[in-house]
A and B are shown apart, each in its own frame.
Chain A
Amino acid sequence: MRGPLHLAWRYMVHFRVKTAILVASITLIAFLPAGLNVLIGESAAQLTSRAEATPLLAGARGSPLELVLSSLYFGAETPETSSWAEAIRVSESGLAEAIPLYVRFRARTQPIVGTSLEYFDFRGLRLAAGRAMALLGECVVGSRAAERLDVGPGDTVISSPESVFDLAGVYPLKMRVAGVLAPSYGPDDEAVFVDVKTAWVIEGLGHGHRDLAAPGADRAVLARDGNRITANASVVQYNEITPENVASFHFHDDPASYPLTAFIAVPRDARSGVILRGRYEGGEERMQIVQPIDVMDELLDTVLTVRSYVVAAMGTVAFATLATAGLVFMLSLRLRRREIETIVKIGGSRLGVATVLASEVVVVLVLGVALAALLTALASRFGSDAIRAFLLS
């Protein structure tokens, strides 16, 4: 057996390009379906784990998928906003705790997530450095966001204007980094977390400026009407909230009307959850409350349907590839006819020749399948990281 194996090996080494192409073909057709299954399975697990961990999500009526993707995965979708009052309504109902989410702004490419400290406990997020945000204008950044923005505790992050040409639009706010989160391998790693009030400051709903009642501030006063002072354009507005100027920051209008992308509703118990969902079922209701896992399952059903088509297509490609490899092998037999005849004339048996050829086929198959198994193992081992990176990028 060693003789035929030796001949097969020498042949494959000599015609290494042809051998490599055949091995690569076998590797691909063996790996793609298995690897795709691993990667899709990992993607599904990644997506559903976060959705599973979120019992209920409430937001303005509209696309549930857009609501979930925006609020849970901090995607670029911008669903209709609901209001702070709705979150208060749920909290005050005693049925659930409401954790606000306002995801509209970005610091370069990283989403700025306005929320409350309860969010960190809810998601089980831990600090790797620094402390939690305590003051208006402070932020806590996710691990990947810290890398990308190259910031750590004590540094600052500036919110990005939504449009550089919109001079009257959102004013950039410089925020001090209070802490950096430990990796959680989810969308939280990419986010810059601020208190929801800080997000409203970025929106321009709250602001801080020089005290117009202070001595020497007359030049910035346009009009006075009792306690009501109207500033002119020369008034100095603060673009950073510091311990010195934090007292000057204030909000106009009724905060209950301030916007939220959504709020996570954490029911006291299962019954409370059912009641809460029932309250939002009415056709007149401006709000919707969804179970994120249902929304993601629906999305995944679509993905899995697509996967079955892809796998079927791959099966066809695999068949065509195998047929081509078989054809290449048959053609090589014709090219090797004289070699085979020489071996037989010298004293080799047809069985021996068949063993040489079969050894080549087996070695190619074994190498191809082994490589595919290795790739599949790597996909299993590192696929989750790759998927996270892909999903988060």
Chain B
Amino acid sequence: MHLFNRFNTKKVLDVTTLVKEAKSGDSKAFGVLYEQYAPGIYRFTLLKTSSREDTEDLVHQTFLKAWDNIQYYEDRGASFQAWLYSIARNTVIDYYRTKKTTATLASYTRNPFEEQKIFEYTESNVEFKMLKQHIAELTHTEQDALLLRYVEDLDHRTIAQMLLKSENATKVLIHRAIAKLKQKLDPR
């Protein structure tokens, strides 16, 4: 994947090069990676937590952890993007452990602004509310697999590495999650 470097419009850098430069302490390179992946990490975190404020803090924590540990990152088959999502996922898990809250996807649209914004992209409020309620009823692993596959567009292999499962097991997990949703939305 090639990324457009905002700091130098004539230069086009690939992720591998940017990661290499970031590992050597180049914060500008890390900034380019941030601009590329922050929206996805934000979306994934928002769908897993309950409020925009918490999401913003968690995204911040995720990238700080990434910067602090980037020297240990090695491309062993898993992409840098998958590595970032893994950090985000663990950060969210820590968040729930610390907060001991039961807030889930079902309650993440407490903020009216966010709710209105999300509804713009759905056919109807009723449909979206039902969907988020049913997704929240899935297990955390099923939620992660589903969101990473169909919202973040990660491939099965990458998701399998993140969830510490085989590729086939991941496919089955996602298939079952969709079947559960279908059953809940259309019980006929």
Do they bind each other?
Answer: no
- Taking Cβ atoms with an 8 Å cutoff, the residues of A that contact B are none
- Taking Cβ atoms with an 8 Å cutoff, the residues of B that contact A are none
